[in-house]
Structures are given as structure tokens and as C-alpha cells.
């Protein structure tokens, strides 16, 4: 199973679009581990399962947390890093954790047990959520102080009020390109507790100097959508230089151009166009 193709998105809220799918995959993986007649042998470089469990307990600040799981199954020839998938809880209230089996770093955590309805009428503000998330990130992610807060968003969550989502990214000081090292944290307003953590720590394998300007990329993006009558006259909302992964998991430098629909749809409908910062090719539109 190759490492998921990742995008450094312009809207952190999009992280939750795939949340349910990722959670389902995690449950399938853990289920496969449970059903296996023989436990998967850890690669020579992997930390022991017990160490992974201890690291999750430390991360969750719960020394007695009961965890089950093991190494994620892999395909022959898979060159991605081994991963431990662990879960705590039963039924639909299952907390899930993804652990780098080489470094021991917690890459993902989903706290479903914190998504239960609360009787409290108080709701945390996004500023309070940001302080909580920042403090948590500084404790749990080595080098957090080198990251820059680039995204803040809100999304409705009837059971827990509002979900505040924040993302910190490492930025190249020379080119201002967003690098594949980041932390995303989501906080439930009703409880002011962290319910989702997502970390990425990849080395950069490409040059982060763009060959085309942001203006050039904007022109390409606008032209690419001009055939659709709804997008003629679209406005540029934002342009960000990012290191992304393509469909075969290779790094590419791209301009992420966010477009606002024209006319009555302005501010309601947006489109993201990824433009290769070297060739001007449109990589993806969504």
C-alpha cells in the first residue's frame, strides 16, 4: 500500500471530506490484522508493537489506554514506510491512530470518543481553539516552532457545535514554497478538545524555485476553465506555491490557484487549479 498521495490544500476544511473514508480504511486494516492467522512480522527497521502502543498512550495522555492493532498489510515490492494502525474503544466510538513504524511518530489521530453530544452551552471561539491547538502541536510535533499557521476554517458539527480546523506548514524561507511538512489540528467548539490530528514530515526532493510566476499561473488557470460558461470572468482568490505529490507519488512544484466563480455565485463556488510551476501544465482541477 503506497503512501497516500497528498495535497497541501488551500482549504483545510477539505481534510474532513476524506475523514470518513480514511477512518473506514483504518478499520478495514485493523480488521485484517485481527483476522490474520499469523501476526505480520515487523520489518527489521520497525519499532516493536509495544513501543508503538506506548507512544500512542503518551500522545493521548492516557497511560492505561487499551489499544489493539498492528502493522498495516503491504504488497510485495512496496517501498513505503511501514505503518502501525491502532485503535481504542468499541462499536462506533473508536479512536484511531496511525504510527510511523520506523520513527515512532504519530501521523494521524482521530478521537471519536470526543465527538459525543455535550450538554454544555458554552462554545469555544476559534481564537481559543487556535491557542489549544498550537500548544498541543508544540508538545507533540518536533520542530513545530518552524511551521507557519496558514489555514483556519470552520465547519458545522451538530453534535459538538463547530469544528475549528487549523493547519501549520513549513515554508521555504527563500521561495515561500509550502513544503511537505505540516500539522493539521481540529478542535470541537462544545468541548474545546482536539478531535483530529494529522501530521506530515517528508523531505524535499525537488528544487522549490518556480520557473513561471504567480501571474503566469493565474493566466493558465483562468484559461483552463474558460470553456465552461459558468467560470468565464472568474476572479483570483489566492495563489500559493506548494510541493505536492502526483498520482505516482512523485513530488512536483505547483502553483495552487483558487478561483472564485463570477456573478451571483461569487463567494459561494470556488475551484482549485494546480499548475506545474515549471512547465505551466495544468495538473489538476477540482
14 SS3 class: helix
Buried b (16+ CB within 10 A) or exposed e, 84-122: bbbbbbeeeebbbbbbbbeebbbbbbbbbebbeebeeee
Q: How far is C-alpha 71 from the geometric centre of its chain's CA atoms?
A: 21
> Mean pLDDT lowest for which of 72-76, 154-158, 184-188?
72-76
CATH topology of domain 214-285: Nuclear Transport Factor 2; Chain: A, (3.10.450)
Q: What is the pLDDT of residue 43?
A: 62
Q: What is the pLDDT of residue 269?
A: 87
Higher pLDDT, 121 or 124: 124
Q: How far is C-alpha 108 from the geometric centre of its chain's CA atoms?
A: 8
Task: Tell whether the torsion through CA atoms of 229, 230, 231 and 233 is positive or negative.
Answer: positive
> Mean pLDDT lowest for which of 24-28, 135-139, 241-245, 278-282?
24-28
Count, in order, helices (H) and strands (E) of the chain.
Answer: 4, 12
| Alpha carbon distances (Å) from 227 to 70, 187, 189, 232, 261 | 50, 40, 42, 8, 14
Share the mean pLDDT of the chain.
85
Which residues, in sequence order, are bridge partners of residue 164?
154, 187
Secondary structure (DSSP) of 119-132: -------HHHHHHH
pLDDT band of residue 92 (cuts 50, 70, 90) is confident
From start to end of 131-250, where are the E strands? 148-157, 161-171, 178-188, 193-201, 235-245
Delimiting residues of CATH 3.10.450 domain(s) in the chain: 214-285
Distance in angstroms (rounded) separating the CA atoms of residues 136 and 120 = 23
- Summarised one tens digit per residue, pLDDT across range 140-178 is 999 999 999 999 999 988 788 899 999 999 999 999 999
Amino acid at each position: 500500500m503506497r503512501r497516500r498521495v497528498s495535497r497541501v490544500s488551500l482549504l483545510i476544511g477539505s481534510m474532513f471530506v476524506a475523514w470518513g473514508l480514511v477512518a473506514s480504511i483504518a478499520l478495514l486494516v485493523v480488521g485484517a490484522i485481527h483476522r490474520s492467522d499469523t501476526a505480520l512480522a515487523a520489518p527489521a527497521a520497525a519499532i516493536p508493537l509495544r513501543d508503538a502502543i506506548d507512544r500512542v498512550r503518551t500522545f493521548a495522555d492516557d497511560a492505561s489506554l487499551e489499544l489493539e492493532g498492528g502493522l498495516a498489510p503491504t504488497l510485495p515490492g512496496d517501498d513505503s514506510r511501514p505503518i502501525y494502525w491502532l485503535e481504542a474503544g468499541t462499536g462506533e466510538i473508536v479512536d484511531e491512530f496511525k504510527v510511523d513504524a520506523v520513527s515512532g511518530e504519530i501521523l494521524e489521530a482521530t478521537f471519536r470518543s470526543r465527538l459525543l453530544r455535550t450538554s454544555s452551552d458554552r462554545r469555544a471561539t476559534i481564537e481559543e481553539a487556535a491557542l489549544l491547538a498550537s500548544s498541543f502541536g508544540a508538545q507533540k510535533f518536533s520542530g513545530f516552532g518552524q511551521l507557519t499557521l496558514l489555514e483556519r476554517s470552520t465547519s458545522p458539527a451538530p453534535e459538538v457545535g463547530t469544528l475549528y480546523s487549523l493547519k501549520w506548514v513549513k515554508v521555504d524561507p527563500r521561495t515561500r514554497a509550502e513544503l511537505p511538512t505540516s500539522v493539521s489540528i481540529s478542535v470541537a467548539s462544545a468541548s474545546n478538545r482536539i478531535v483530529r490530528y494529522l501530521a506530515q514530515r517528508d523531505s524535499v526532493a525537488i528544487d522549490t524555485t518556480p520557473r513561471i510566476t504567480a501571474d503566469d499561473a493565474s493566466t493558465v488557470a483562468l484559461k483552463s476553465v474558460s470553456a465552461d460558461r459558468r467560470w468565464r470572468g472568474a476572479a483570483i482568490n489566492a495563489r500559493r506555491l506548494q510541493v505536492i505529490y502526483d498520482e505516482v507519488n512523485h513530488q512536483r512544484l505547483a502553483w495552487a490557484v483558487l478561483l472564485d466563480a463570477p456573478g451571483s455565485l461569487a463567494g459561494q463556488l470556488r475551484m482549485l487549479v494546480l499548475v506545474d510551476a515549471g512547465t505551466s501544465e495544468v495538473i489538476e482541477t477540482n
